Structure 1
Amino acid sequence: MDDEEFVKNTARRILSIPAVSPENGGNGELKKAEEILNILDEMGYKNYEKYYVDDNFGVTRPNFVIKTGNFEKTLWIIVHMDTVPAGDVKLWAHDPYDVHIENGNIYARGAEDNGQGLLTALLLLKKLDLNKMRLNLGIAFVSDEETGNTYGIKYLISKNIFKPDDLIVVPDAGTEDGNIIETAEKSVLWLKFTVRGRQGHASMPQEALNAFRLSSKFITFFDDELHKTFSIENKMFIPSVSTFEPTKHEKNIDNINTIPGEDIFYYDCRILPGYNLEEAIENIQKMVTDFTKKNGGEIDMDVIESEPSPSFNMENSEIVLKLKDAIEKIKGKKAMTVGIGGSTFAAFLRARNIPAAVWSTTVIENAHMPNEFCRIDDIIGDVKIYEYILYN
């Protein structure tokens, strides 16, 4: 089976299996993990180690690693098996779990995030020439990336699997030219807001306090205050400013003719490293207090996720230098380093002074979208970069 057929066949086998976390209404990654293990067995790789853990829902969250070679240093590729939900299937041209391949593109939920990384890692293992290796190759298949990482990379880090002198790549972001290496990330802050008013009949608004209207007014106020307070720009990052987006909104009322007394929504905040995250939370809490004093009602703010950006300097790390060299030799392009707003495994490793670069050749603005896809040529091309690093 040639490389392209291997990628197509493997994509059909693993991307057709939903792997949505229980927090997002799914059954987790176990079935997908079992199919990946079947593929590894078929290729003759049976020396994997399992790190399974049960989550708060009682669901088993699988992680496993495979390591080949007897050298001092290891090139690690860390990929995640879970995906976000498919979303509105009416927006898809094809069933999001009926893998569709057309014009060299693979369409499915999770095809790019992080199916492309999974397929790249498996193709690299298929092609691996043990006689040419100058480094160990380690692949970590990880759960829970989309919903907090407690049962995934954080759990693996606690097992001391990754060492400060290892070379680590997280293929979870990139550009179409493949000459961008991500070496810094913004702080991540996920917030839950519970707005309480007073429920009542829709025909008698004077007797109620509409929590939905209060939420809407607060979001407008909040957006203005956030962008005034966190206005610093850093051209290294894409985008160059801190971002604040209202995202998830919970159901409030079942019927049309009742004024809701409670409204719950969430914010995803990505804050530039120039700001202290604890101080940022204090500033945001003050905005909430100021708003309720003026407008009435009650607003409770809960911090769902808080992950400060590590100050670890990646610029001259060995993996960045080797990636730059490989990209220039294989692609004929000069690579540059940037920061991003997305949160990846790399941030957790860097926070522990373990250098980790985020890199791949991929279609941007594609993850979490309807008709998500990845390109077979990118997978085959990225394998050549890893081979150059392993064999030279």
Structure 2
Amino acid sequence: MAQTRTKSELAELIADLVAIETENPPGNEAGCTDYIIDWFDEHGIDADRVEQPYPDRPQVGARVGDGDPTIVLNGHIDVVPAGDLDQWSTGPYDAVIEDGSLYGRGSVDMKTGVALGMLAMTEFKHTFEGGKFDGSLVFHAAIGEETAEPGTKSLLEAGYDGDYGVVLEPTGMRTATSEKGLAWYEITVMGDPSHASRPDQGTNAIQHARPVLDALTAYDEEVRKREDALVGQAYATVTKLEAGTKENVVPEKAVITVDRRFLPSESADEIDDEIDDLLTEIAVDHGVGINWERTRTYESASIPTDSDFASVFRERSAAVADVSTEPWGIQASTDVRNFVNDAGIEAITWGPGDISQAHTYDEHVDLAHAADGYEVLTRALTDLFRSEP
């Protein structure tokens, strides 16, 4: 009966969280923060409203227990915009359950992970108070993960830290000990406007963008040769090209956006140098005015694949859900970098749900898989609190 009750509570909690619209941009997380704080209060847990880095976008930090080790359960409450509502079979915030799956924006990415963390806090509060074993559990409901804002970083800096961290993103319950980095570059190619009836009077920025695009294609082919055993290939993908103000005006600038996925062995500063060298050569060879900036960065991160902490999650995931125990890395970027790179905390990315559902229309999570994830999480935490790795 207890397991059935937990499954029901988990489904209800996920649905409540999904039903609260928290799109980012613009960064509408405050309503969800209020809900989580009230929910913790109802369950006898003091949760703090953390108003850094943005007072109008508060976060949640909470702690139960006062022993060692301290394990942090991290989730972000912002979601990407729902997009064209006509493409959804149900309303993106209706949290409809159909055929064992719950549908809605954020169901996978990552309010299921947030719900797991909330329920685990209540369970281990009673465990610690009962004196079965020692330890402490910290919870994060962070803002701004979808836009690389310092939500998780600021929670760690505010003292909601620990010895180990679990970023509860959907990995199909595989245990990721490394992740790719992400850097977005905005490249502006300059021209000179004129009326299209006198095109030779101006300089067409789109024409000047051609050698840049050709060079970026060659650069992508080169970086694809760089591989990591856990996270795969590096990429440099042109994702946007914007130019022109009116049909009959020669464009004075063209803006190219590049999505650069990089490996744990690479750094954003090194990639800056590569981009700068590439564009400088084009500017000189073709007489083109070019400016660039890195507009967003998620650094790559990794911990040793033989981490004892990671091994506990691998073993429990295999036992409950028949998940592979082979070392693995996630190709997306998560807030695990804030744990590993900024705070020096050993951390993994792990959670139930299919990451291919993230950011899609009709995003959904299998509730049976989510319940298995909760069982894995509580078993792994029990092992860790019984004997610190």
- 1:18-77 CA-to-partner distances (Å, cap 9, x unmatched) read 2233xx3x24311111122222223332x112321254xxx6222222211232112321
Contact 1:80–1:145, Cα closer than 8 Å, also in 2: yes
TM-score normalized by the length of structure 2: 0.87
Match of 1:18 in 2: 21
- 1:300-341 CA-to-partner distances (Å, cap 9, x unmatched) read 11122345434x533233321221232233335541222233
Corresponding residue to 2:295 among 304, 307, 310: 304
CA distance in 1 between counterparts of 2:274 and 2:381 reads 47
- 1:133-162 CA-to-partner distances (Å, cap 9, x unmatched) read 553222111111111232x11112222432
Corresponding residue to 1:318 among 293, 308, 320: 308
Counterparts in 2 of 1:9-88, with a 5 A limit?
9-21=12-24, 24=25, 26-45=26-45, 47-53=46-52, 55=54, 60-88=56-84
CA distance in 2 between counterparts of 1:28 and 1:161 reads 22
TM-score normalized by the length of structure 1: 0.86
Corresponding residue to 1:91 among 78, 84, 87: 87
Match of 1:174 in 2: 171
Q: Which has the higher helix share?
A: 2
Contact 1:119–1:379, Cα closer than 8 Å, also in 2: no
Q: How much has 1:212 moved relative to structure 2?
A: 3.6
Corresponding residue to 1:190 among 172, 184, 196: 184
Amino acid at match of 2:12: N
CA distance in 2 between counterparts of 1:120 and 1:203 reads 63
Contact 1:137–1:390, Cα closer than 8 Å, also in 2: no
Q: How much has 1:241 moved relative to structure 2?
A: 0.8
CA distance in 2 between counterparts of 1:215 and 1:18 reads 39
CA distance in 1 between counterparts of 2:40 and 2:191 reads 55
Unaligned 5+ residue runs, structure 1? none
Corresponding residue to 1:114 among 85, 110, 114: 110
Percent identity between matched residues is 22
Q: How many residues align?
A: 375
CA distance in 2 between counterparts of 1:220 and 1:102 reads 47
Amino acid at match of 2:191: G
CA distance in 1 between counterparts of 2:329 and 2:265 reads 13
Match of 1:145 in 2: 145
Contact 2:148–2:298, Cα closer than 8 Å, also in 1: no
**RMSD across aligned C-alpha pairs, in angstroms?**
2.5
Question: Judging changes above 3 Å, is the alpha-carbon distance between structure 1 residues 273 and 54 closer, same or farther for their aligned structure 2 residues?
Answer: closer
CA distance in 2 between counterparts of 1:346 and 1:121 reads 16
CA distance in 2 between counterparts of 1:117 and 1:200 reads 54
- 1:203-240 CA-to-partner distances (Å, cap 9, x unmatched) read 44333333245445523431222322562222321xx1
Amino acid at match of 1:192: E
CA distance in 1 between counterparts of 2:208 and 2:167 reads 42
CA distance in 2 between counterparts of 1:246 and 1:37 reads 41
Amino acid at match of 1:119: A
Amino acid at match of 1:354: I
Contact 1:134–1:390, Cα closer than 8 Å, also in 2: no
Match of 1:162 in 2: 161
CA distance in 1 between counterparts of 2:285 and 2:194 reads 22
The secondary structure found in structure 2 opposite 1:60 is coil
Unaligned 5+ residue runs, structure 2? 384-389
